[in-house]
Structures are given as structure tokens and as C-alpha cells.
Amino acid sequence: MHIHVLGICGTFMGSLAVLAKELGHRVTGSDANVYPPMSTQLQAQGIELMQGYDPSHLDPAPDLVVVGNALSRGNPAVEYVLNKGLPYVSGPQWLADHVLQGRWVLAVAGTHGKTTTSSMLAWVLEHAGMSPGFLIGGVPQNFAVSARLGGTPFFVVEADEYDSAFFDKRSKFVHYRPRTAILNNLEFDHADIFPDLAAIERQFHHLVRTIPSEGLVIYPAAETALKRVIDMGCWTPVQTTGEGAQWQAKLLSADGSRFEVSFEGVPQGVVEWPLTGQHNVANALVCLAAARHVGVVPAQGVEALSAFKNVKRRMEKVAEVKGVTIYDDFAHHPTAIATTLDGLRKRVGDAKVIAIIEPRSNSMKLGAHRDGLPDSVTQADQVYWFAPPNLGWDLAATTAGCTVPSQVCDSLEAIIAAVKAQATPGTQVVVMSNGGFGGLHGKLAAALEA
């Protein structure tokens, strides 16, 4: 079968394309923005990519068009599909119908940490010899790909609350029917499709309604929004993580790189890994709980996590030039920015930390999180903000409230010049964006080298 994927370079759609190829289909795809790491992964898989949404990409007609949720009415390829009556489906529906049927699905949902936690869980199962299938919205470094079918019934999926397609406004995750569900955390996000937090809570409850009574729901006890979701009605056993819960972690180093795990008061082992931050300790606990549900004893899970390598673009060290370290991070929400910088600060102590932030997500462009930005960067010594041209609010006025030195720049060149003037050996530079950021990491490294 010839499947054409519209919006193929999105992390979810790209992973879906990899699975379709592994099932033996001929897969092609098009996207407005073809950029790494997804574009390079797809090309390595032998998947043909086309730039833009020209209807000619769909001639001769494929057997099926899988439509990404970034596409809307008015898009030339979408209009062509509808006018020609070509068969089409949403990505989550295709995944449910062709990959997840009959599998033991372990779904990882939440505002933050889905990609990292999914990668952890897939790795823990792999380490235990369970050869899971997985679909992850990023490239996990313990595996060479972001998705695979796997050799057993177990399938780990990153379960996003974003909508499924222009014709299906349900959250993606309601399609997945998990048996084991991690609800990582819940905050207001996706202001382009949700009016308020209560609307997202309702979608999470739709997910809870699909989990069988022989399944398991796992969530951090301190997450009040998730507690409200469970209180709407839950027909499944629940395990909680965090302080006072069934699963707990005792920090053995302030930065979260060493901690002891206990389950129901009994120590299960010590995780020692290259990750930092309380958020990753929390991710580890829900992961261990989910792995135990499918038969991985916690001590084995702890051993696996000690060999875990984080996902690309999650505090990924991309360069070290003349003593200056540059990290690439996906953080694009004030909570994620704050926890990431806090983890780094605890690791590097008094070293100079420079944060470079692009408020690029749809929610950011709508101004949904702008009030949280000034307080999110208190652990940095210097912050450079990049104002994208289509930002609908005054970034300079918002960031004027920062308690650390802060500057808004309108070009990458201005950022590079400023960082170059400031950086000395030992400086830690974190570049934060949920997009390609114009290749800033490489340009900055080259400028420091020069």
C-alpha cells in the first residue's frame, strides 16, 4: 500500500511514518518545514520527503493519506484530498487501527515529560529483554529510531492531549486504549485549542474512561489537577508517586543525578544517571511503576535507568568550545524552563549560566504563558530572549520583570554577538526552543570557535 503522510516532519507523524514503513508499506510524505532530527531519521529509513503542500505530491493518488493535526482547511493538499475523494485518516486513528490492536499499550500522558518518560519506559522494558514496540515524539538515544513495532505485545506510546486532526477534535490519546497509563502532570497548555485547564482535565478524564478495570493508572500524588481528573470517576486501580505516596525517591545528590527509590516503604535500589532535575526524578518514579505493572521488578528497572541516555533535545550537550558548554533543550513552557534551569544550576554550582529562549509554541504566541516567564529564569545569570516576528504581544514589556539581567534580541546574530562577548571558560549556555531555532546551536559554536 502507498501511504502519504501530510505533516510528516512533526515528531508524532514522522514516527508514524517509520512504523508504516516497517509494516511493509511504501511511505512518502510532505511538510512545510523539513528539518532535523526528524528529516534525517526519515531519509535514513528510505522515506521520500517533499517540501510544501503541493497537490502534485498526491498524483498519482496514494492508497491512503494520513493527515497531521498541523493541517487545516484551506491547505492546498487538504483541499485536494477532499475534492478528489481520496481516502484519509488521522494519525492517531491509523496508529490505533494498524499498530495498537491487540497490544498491551503503555501510554504516557501529561503536560511535561512525555517524551523523556516514554523513552525511559521503552528502555527499561528493552533492558529487561521485553523488546517493546514504541512511538516516541523525539529520538531516544538508547535506540536509533523514534518508533518501532517491537517483538512482543508491549507497546509504549507518547500520549498527547493535542487534537487528532482538523476533522477530529478529540485528544490523540483517546484513540490508544492503554492498559497501563501514566498521567505525568497537568497544567494549562495548548491555548490554541483549549479555553482553560478544566477543558484539558475533561480530555484526560476521557482517557481515564478507556482504561480497563484490570489496568493501572499512575500519577504523582502532588498533582492537584490530576487528582480532580481521578475524582471525576475512575474504574481502574491507581498508584501514586512522590512524597507520602507508594513510590518515593530520596535524593542522594541535590541535582537529582543520584536518588534511592522505595516502593511501599521498601528500598528498591539507587539510580545514578547523567540526568538532572527534580522533574526527571519524578519521571523515573512513574516509569518504574509502569514497568512493574508489566512484570519488571523495580531493582531491574533501577539498573536500567542507570544506563539511560536522555532523548535528543532534552538538555542535550551539543558542543563544548573553549570551555563553554552549549545545550539544546526543548523547554517551551515556564514550568519546564524553570525545572531545567534548576537542575543545571544544582549540577554546575556557581558557574555562569546563560539561557537563550525562543517563545515559539502556539500557546506562547497567544500569550498564554507570558506572565510566568520572568520567574522561570531566576536560576540563570543572563537571559537572551528571541522575539519571533509573529509574536502577538510585547516580549520586552513582559521580560522587564526579570530579576536577572535580561535582553530581547530580534536576530540570531545579535544573540551570538552578545553571548560571545559574555562567555568565558566554564560558562553553560542553554538554548531553549520547540523548533529548529534557525540552527542557532551550530552557529553559536562556530562563532565561539572563531
**What is the per-residue pLDDT across 95-143, written as a single tens digit (0 to 9) for each?**
999 999 999 999 999 988 889 999 999 999 999 999 999 999 877 888 8
Residue 230: closest CA among 253, 257, 204, 254: 204
Cα separation, 91 vs 96, whole angstroms: 9
- pTM of the complete model: 0.79
Question: Measured between alpha carbons, how far is 141 from 312 in angstroms, rounded to an integer?
Answer: 7
User: Is 403 annotated as contributing to ligand binding?
Assistant: no
pLDDT above 80: residue 362: no
Q: Is 265 annotated as a binding residue?
A: no
pLDDT in tens, 235-292: 999 999 999 999 999 999 988 999 999 999 999 999 999 888 888 999 999 999 999 9
Of the candidate CATH numbers 3.10.450.630, 3.40.50.2020, 3.30.365.10, 3.40.1190.10, the domain formed by 102-305 belongs to 3.40.1190.10
117/284 Cα distance (integer angstroms):
7
Q: What is the pLDDT, as a whole number, of residue 5?
A: 98
pLDDT at 363: 62
Q: How far is CA 308 from the centre of its chain?
A: 16
Give 155's Cβ-side CA count (13 Å radius): 22
DSSP 297-346: -HHHHHHHHTT--PBTTSSEEEEEETTEEEEEE---SHHHHHHHHHHHHH
Strand 247-251 versus strand 258-263 pairing type: antiparallel
Read off the pLDDT of each residue in 320-324 and give the average, rounded to a whole number: 87
Is the pLDDT reported for residue 165 higher than 80?
yes
d(CA 80, CA 296) in angstroms, rounded, equals 48
Q: Evaluate whether the domain defined by 2-91 bears CATH number 3.30.450.40.
A: no
Cell of 47: 522515506
Which residue shows C-alpha cell 510524505?
Answer: 29
Average pLDDT over residues 138-164: 91
Residue 384 bridge partners (DSSP): 356, 407
Residue with cell 542535550: 316
Backbone angles phi, psi at 65, to 5 degrees: -110, 125
- Is 114 assigned a ligand-binding role in the annotation? yes
* Residues 6+ positions from 414 with CB-CB distance below 8 Å: none
Average pLDDT over residues 338-345: 84
Distance CA 438, CA 443 (A): 9
Residues 303 and 308: their CA atoms lie apart, in Å, by 9
Helices (H), 3-127: 11-22, 38-44, 76-84, 91-95, 114-127
The answer to whether residue 438 scores a pLDDT higher than 90 is no
pLDDT-wise least confident of 155-164, 255-264, 408-417: 408-417
**Alpha-carbon separation of residue 355 from 117, 185, 336, 373 (angstroms):** 24, 25, 13, 12
151 vs 339: which has the higher pLDDT: 151
- Determine the pLDDT at residue 226: 94
Residue count of the chain: 450
Average pLDDT over residues 316-340: 83
Task: Tell me if 110 is assigned to a ligand binding site.
Answer: yes
| Residue 322 labelled as part of a binding site | no
Q: Can you give the residue ranges of every domain in the chain?
A: 2-91, 102-305, 316-449
- Work out the percent of the chain whose per-residue pLDDT is above 90: 57
Instruction: Identify the burial level of 129 via C-beta atoms within 10 angstroms of its C-beta, where 0-12 means exposed, 13-18 middle and 19 or more buried.
Output: exposed
The neighbour count for residue 306, using CB atoms within 10 Å, is 15
- Of the candidates 282, 307, 321, 295, which has an alpha carbon nearest to the alpha carbon of residue 427? 321
* Architecture (CATH level 2) of domain 316-449: Alpha-Beta Complex (3.90)
Helix (H) or strand (E) holding 133: strand 133-135
112 is in an annotated binding site: yes
Helices 412-422 and 440-449, packing angle to 10 deg: 40
* 102 labeled binding residue: no
Q: What is the mean pLDDT of the chain?
A: 90
